[in-house]
Amino acid sequence: MRLLVTGGAGFIGSHFVRTVLEGGYPGHEDTRVTVFDKLTYAGNRANLPAAHPKLEFVRGDVCDGRLLREVLPGHDAVLHFAAESHVDRSVDSAREFVRTNVGGTQELLEACLATGVDRVVHISTDEVYGSITEGSWTEDRPLLPNSPYAASKASSDLIARAYWRTHGLDVSITRCSNNYGPYQHPEKVIPLFTTQLLEGKQVPLYGDGRNVREWLHVDDHCRALTLVLDKGRAGEIYNVGGGNEQTNRHLTERLLELCGADRSMVREVADRKGHDLRYALDERKIREELGYAPRVPFEKGLAETVAWYRDNPGWWTPVKYRRDELARQGAEGSTS
């Protein structure tokens, strides 16, 4: 099989690609991969092998329909990870989120139709459902996204479904809870807090820390995506939950313990605008229909993740400080 993986240089996409190339998914030992990635601040070529006989890398924007039409022919399926993915950044400015997440998804699907690449897995998030105080969401619950990020992802889900319903494209949609694991950009809460603590710096906890998130190891998410790729039905949506609910305060306490720090390292900051209180997925469908079950226990996965950041400052230090450096250069540039 030949796969095109958009956003394959980001956190989750690169985990999927590295695992395929290592032969980690039964039935995909011979699968070849083309990564199609714009390498925004979130994408990192170093997340992938520098060279591999089954890997091709194309630097490109999913909004560039012409380039997609050149690259897509010969592929059997697309995994669509590419997106602007950080909620806080979408609160600051939503433009890129709408452009990439909505416009880019539409361009990609149109290019798939034009080139006869029929199978697409569109990777989305539990945040499209909004916030829930009790119980959990099944796949048919209404979309009530609250952040511009979540709204752009919800819009892309609807576009993806429409290309199935209108054009018969073989599209499946996945909605996953919060992921964690190695190679996640240090703007996201677990790597941000971990790297701050490893550097002896305080961590900023939003509001009263009561917000609840469900955590899933990136490896479990990617195994679920492989099941959906291989066996998921057209036009169907699959929730992928972790089943592991944590308040942000509890998560912070665990990270303090794992990094050998105490509560004086927590700085409470004003809450995020429109901060969703709780997300929770009902994932019976993917378990019963595709035989999915998460494997990585949260405590073990979290300890291993912290250990990975401790052992790999050479990966995260340049990633964490690149934006500051770029901003500084920009500021200097604007005064000259």
Residue 178 has a CB neighbour count (10 Å cut-off) of 20
Q: Which stretch binds ligand NAD (CB under 6 A): 39-47, 161-169, 242-250, 321-329?
A: 39-47
Residue number, 178 or 252, with CB nearest to ligand NAD: 178
Catalytic residue chosen out of the listed positions 37, 107, 127, 219: 127
- How far lies 112's CA from each of 63, 126, 300, in Å? 13, 25, 40
Given candidates 3, 12, 71, 102, which one binds ligand NAD under the rule CB under 6 A? 12
Q: Is the dihedral angle over the CA atoms 146, 124, 188, 60 positive or is it negative?
A: negative
CA distance linking residue 52 with residue 2, whole number of Å: 14
Backbone angles phi, psi at 90, to 5 degrees: -70, -25
CA distance linking residue 98 with residue 32, whole number of Å: 30
Q: With contact defined as beta carbons under 8 Å apart, do 225 and 16 qualify?
A: yes
Catalytic residue chosen out of the listed positions 37, 61, 107, 126: 126
149 catalytically annotated: yes
Q: Which stretch binds ligand NAD (CB under 6 A): 6-14, 19-27, 133-141, 222-230?
A: 6-14
Q: Which of residues 144-203 bind ligand NAD (CB under 6 A)?
A: 153, 176, 178-179, 185
Among 65, 59, 56, smallest CA distance to 114 is for 65
Given candidates 19, 24, 39, 115, which one binds ligand NAD under the rule CB under 6 A? 39
Given candidates 4, 9, 109, 227, which one binds ligand NAD under the rule CB under 6 A? 9
Q: What is the 3-state secondary structure (H, E, C) of 25-40?
A: CCCCCCCEEEEEECCC
Q: Tell whether residue 238 is a contact of ligand NAD (CB under 6 A).
A: no
Mark residues 100-139: x for contact with ligand NAD by CB under 6 A, - for none.
x---x------------------x-x--------------
Q: How far apart are the first and last CA of the chain?
A: 52
DSSP-derived 3-state class of residue 252: helix
Q: Closest approach of Cβ 235 to ligand NAD, in Å?
A: 19
Structure tokens belonging to residue 59: 């630097």
Mark residues 59-98: x for contact with ligand NAD by CB under 6 A, - for none.
--xxx-----------------xxxxx-------------
Residue number, 20 or 261, with CB nearest to ligand NAD: 20
Residue number, 254 or 261, with CB nearest to ligand NAD: 254
Q: Tell whether residue 254 is a contact of ligand NAD (CB under 6 A).
A: no
For the chain, the helix, strand and coil percentages under 3-state DSSP, each to the nearest 5: 45, 20, 35
Give bridge partners of residue 112 from the DSSP assignment: none
Residue number, 12 or 173, with CB nearest to ligand NAD: 12
Helix intervals (H) in 52-169: 65-71, 87-92, 95-97, 105-115, 148-167
22 catalytically annotated: no
Residues acting as catalytic residues: 126-127, 149
Q: Which residues bind ligand NAD (CB under 6 A)?
A: 6-7, 9-13, 37-40, 42-43, 61-63, 81-85, 100, 104, 123, 125, 153, 176, 178-179, 185
